[in-house]
Amino acid sequence: MSNPVPAFKGTECDNCGEQFEEGDDVFFTDDGKMCIKCAEENDYVCECGCFKKFEYKYCYECSRS
């Protein structure tokens, strides 16, 4: 499964509680599902826009290239 995934209408960010529009990016993290803003603030987004663990500088794909 890729990360982020498109949201279903009515899905809420577990961090800020904001509701997603259908198709918005949802990041599934160890801390729950997050909007792009919260995922970036918590260092879950690689510079390429894909999910990464906060303890790493890059996502899996970027770290291999």
More confident residue, 65 or 20: 20
Predicted local confidence at residue 2, as pLDDT: 82
Both tokens assigned to 50: 């894909």
Considering only CA atoms, which of 65, 8, 16 is closest in space to residue 39? 16
- Residue 31's CB: how many other CB atoms inside 10 A? 14
Predicted local confidence at residue 63, as pLDDT: 93
Burial (Cβ within 10 Å: 0-12, 13-18, ≥19) of residue 3:
middle
pLDDT at 1 over 90: no
- Write the CB contacts of 55 (distance below 8 Å, at least 6 apart in sequence): none
Average pLDDT estimate for 31-39? 95
Q: Is 65 helix (H, G, I), strand (E, B) or coil?
A: coil
Give pLDDT tens digits for 13-22: 999 999 999 9
Average pLDDT estimate for 3-13? 93
